[in-house]
Amino acid sequence: MKAPHEDKTESDPKQDTFSAAAAARLAGVGRASIQRALNANRFPQAVKGQEGWQITLQDLIAAGFPPRPDQAVEAQPGHLPNDVKTLQTQLLAAWDKLEAESAARQNAEQLAKERAQHVADLRGVLDVLRSQIAGTGAEPMRNRP
């Protein structure tokens, strides 16, 4: 297990690597999340230098820490994969889909809650009707054509 460390470096503009702190900002997660991933060896290409860890963008994505849409990575010619722009576009589309599905889920939950309340109200009305029928001695209506 690797020892915890302090990392004060930022991303290196000449390479597609990021310090642990910069990686956390890029992915929109806490610094501790990146540290736990480092300790679990989830970044196989990460290199620890005198100024701290350097984590590749590829490792971040593979470990489940993709860049947030509002933290787009600028491609450096010859240093980042050619498909970074494509991946960023796909990531933005995935975030949009996630937001839409989240809204749909919230709407469905609200509808289910309203329907459950309506069913409870109808049961209450049914109980009142049953008690009135029982009090008057009238026959309840059942399966009449």
This prediction has a pTM of 0.42
pLDDT digits (tens, 9 = 90+) for 48-76: 988 889 999 889 989 998 888 776 555 44
Domain residue spans of the chain: 1-81, 83-137
What are the residue ranges of helices labelled H in 1-145? 20-27, 31-39, 57-62, 84-136
pLDDT classification of 6: cutoffs 50, 70, 90: very low
pLDDT digits (tens, 9 = 90+) for 72-87: 555 444 455 556 777 7
For 136, phi then psi, to 5°, come to -95, -15
Q: Would you state the pLDDT for residue 5?
A: 41
